[in-house]
């Protein structure tokens, strides 16, 4: 389980690359993108097939972000996440949040790669649970996880 400090450190990074935001404006990843924008985060969308996300110009790869970022929120499918993690490491990104962790084996190998390369990783958690005042259902989700002992400490 991810340590709460790792989550807080990530959310303390106010400039984030957001990799894999959907082109579909109704997708959950777009809802999360808009929420982070409202909260004052400077977001750089990374998407090889979109010109812009929420009126923000995209870059095709994490290495194209200039100036570089220290943190990246990965909203990618599990099949491409390992490749994106390697690109993050090559670009000097020190903190990654993997929203869609995928299978346990894939998540394990990805977090091992991050540890081997000195990267802090949040894996499988929903950012909404850790942002203040997000309301229902996010606060309820966090409450339930606390009840069963699965909320990060």
**Torsion, Cα of 46, 50, 52, 58 (10° steps):** 30
Q: How far apart are CA 128 and CA 8, in angstroms?
A: 13
C-alpha angle 111-113-114 in degrees, rounded to nearest 5? 65
12 occurs within a structural domain: yes
127 occurs within a structural domain: yes
Do 86 and 80 meet the contact criterion of CB atoms below 8 Å apart?
no
Least confident of 55-59, 101-105, 136-140: 101-105
48 occurs within a structural domain: yes
CA-closest candidate to residue 122, choices 144, 92, 82, 95:
95
pLDDT, residue 84, reads 95
Number of domains forming the structure of the chain: 1
Give yes or no for residue 34 having a pLDDT over 50.
Answer: yes
Give yes or no for residue 107 having a pLDDT over 50.
Answer: yes
Average pLDDT over residues 99-111: 66
pLDDT, residue 124, reads 79
**Confidence grade of residue 130 (pLDDT, cut at 50, 70, 90):** confident
**Torsion, Cα of 28, 23, 19, 37 (10° steps):** -60
pLDDT, residue 70, reads 93
Range of the domain at 83: 4-147
Count the helix, strand and coil residues of the chain and give each as a percent rounded to the nearest 5.
40, 20, 45
93 occurs within a structural domain: yes
152 occurs within a structural domain: no
pLDDT, residue 73, reads 96
Q: Which residue has the higher pLDDT, 31 or 107?
A: 31
Beta bridge partners of 71: 16, 95
Say what the pTM is: 0.89
Measure CA of the first residue to CA of the last residue in the chain; give whole Å.
9
**Confidence grade of residue 1 (pLDDT, cut at 50, 70, 90):** low
69 occurs within a structural domain: yes
Mean pLDDT of the chain: 88
Q: Read off the CATH number of the domain in which 129 is found.
A: 3.40.50.720
Q: Which helix (H) or strand (E) holds 95?
A: strand 95-98
153 occurs within a structural domain: no
141 occurs within a structural domain: yes
């Amino acid at each position: 389980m991810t340590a709460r400090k790792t989550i807080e450190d990530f959310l303390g990074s106010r400039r984030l690359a957001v990799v894999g935001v959907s082109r579909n404006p109704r997708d959950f990843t777009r809802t999360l993108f808009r929420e982070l924008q409202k909260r004052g985060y400077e977001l750089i969308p990374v998407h090889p097939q979109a010109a812009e996300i929420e009126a923000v110009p995209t870059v095709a790869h994490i290495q194209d972000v200039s100036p570089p970022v220290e943190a990246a929120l990965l909203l990618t499918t599990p099949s491409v996440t390992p490749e994106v993690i390697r690109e993050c490491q090559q670009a000097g990104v020190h903190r990654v949040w993997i929203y869609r962790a995928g299978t346990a084996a894939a998540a394990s190998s990805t977090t091992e790669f991050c540890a081997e390369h000195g990267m802090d990783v949040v894996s499988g958690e929903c950012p909404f649970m850790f942002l203040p005042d997000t309301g229902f259902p996010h606060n309820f989700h966090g409450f339930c996880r606390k009840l069963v002992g699965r909320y990060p400490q």
